[in-house]
Amino acid sequence: MLKQVAEGVLTHQSEFMQSNAVVVQGEAGVLLIDPGVRSQELACLANDLRELGKPVVAGYSTHPHWDHLLWSPEFGAAPRYGTAPGAAAIAARLSTPDWRTSVAGMLPPDIAEEIPLDDLFGRITGLPAGTTRIPWDGPGIRIVEHRAHAPGHAALVIEDRGVLVAGDMLSDILIPILNLMAPGPIEDYLAALHLFEAMADDIQVVIPGHGSVGGADQVRARIDQDRAYVNALRDAAVPDDPRLGPSATFGQGWLPDLHERQAQHLGRTP
């Protein structure tokens, strides 16, 4: 079910990791950001869009992880954009003959058969380097590219609506997940949070890739919480983070292990 979170901006949440697809209404149709995740959820989203009475005229993938690269034939053949590094990363994977086997190995086993790894998966057009706006006939959307979490990750700012589509950052349920393959994952993450902080006063709604949509009072709070976690990793300290605590409502069976893996990889276990 679509839920309006700002004027002309709606979300559709998947059961898997509370994944948020974002719909932005334009003059001739809608921009669809990170649709997912299971086939039946994509079908439900397509039905909701038909009820809106406007076609999908463009898509955007915030970063090249499998759950942000999905599509359905019911969305049509609109161009699907991403940053140049993000598109290059997924194009490299799709260029291998066994890409489906490779991606399938990343899927949660309990829903793997419900994820459409078809010929529409990951067909992203990289926008030229330095592009700062999504090319479409709708509200102005600024692209904020950074290197946290994944290569070519982008946040999107729907400026006249005060909405930040954060990709896989600023979640109320997930700790920061660093791109551990990068030379400076901690520095990259802190730099991205600095970008968010610089625009925080203009943001009224923050939409994470996973978790709950937050209002204006949540923007700086989530930036501060994510920075505190990353600083704890940097300093080899035990993070005081409710997303890892006994009262956490999500991921108790695996988020603490993820934290330990990140700390061990960085060589910064307390």
Q: Cβ(232)–Cβ(238) under 8 Å?
A: yes
Nearest-angstrom CA–CA distance, 106 and 100: 10
Q: Cβ(44)–Cβ(64) under 8 Å?
A: no
Nearest-angstrom CA–CA distance, 221 and 110: 34
* Angle at CA of residue 264, ends 260 and 267, nearest 5°: 145
pTM score? 0.96
Q: Cβ(236)–Cβ(184) under 8 Å?
A: no
pLDDT at 132: 97
pLDDT at 267: 83
CB-count burial class (<10 Å; 0-12, 13-18, 19+) for 190: middle
Write out the chain's pLDDT in tens, 270 residues. Answer: 899 999 999 999 999 999 999 999 999 999 999 999 999 999 999 999 999 998 999 999 999 999 999 999 999 999 999 999 999 999 999 999 999 999 999 999 999 999 999 999 999 999 999 999 999 999 999 999 999 999 999 999 999 999 999 999 999 999 999 999 999 999 999 999 999 999 999 999 999 999 999 999 999 999 999 999 999 999 999 999 999 999 998 999 999 999 999 999 998 555
Domains of the chain: 3-265 (3.60.15.30)
Q: How many helices (H) and strands (E) does the chain have?
A: 6, 12
pLDDT at 23: 98
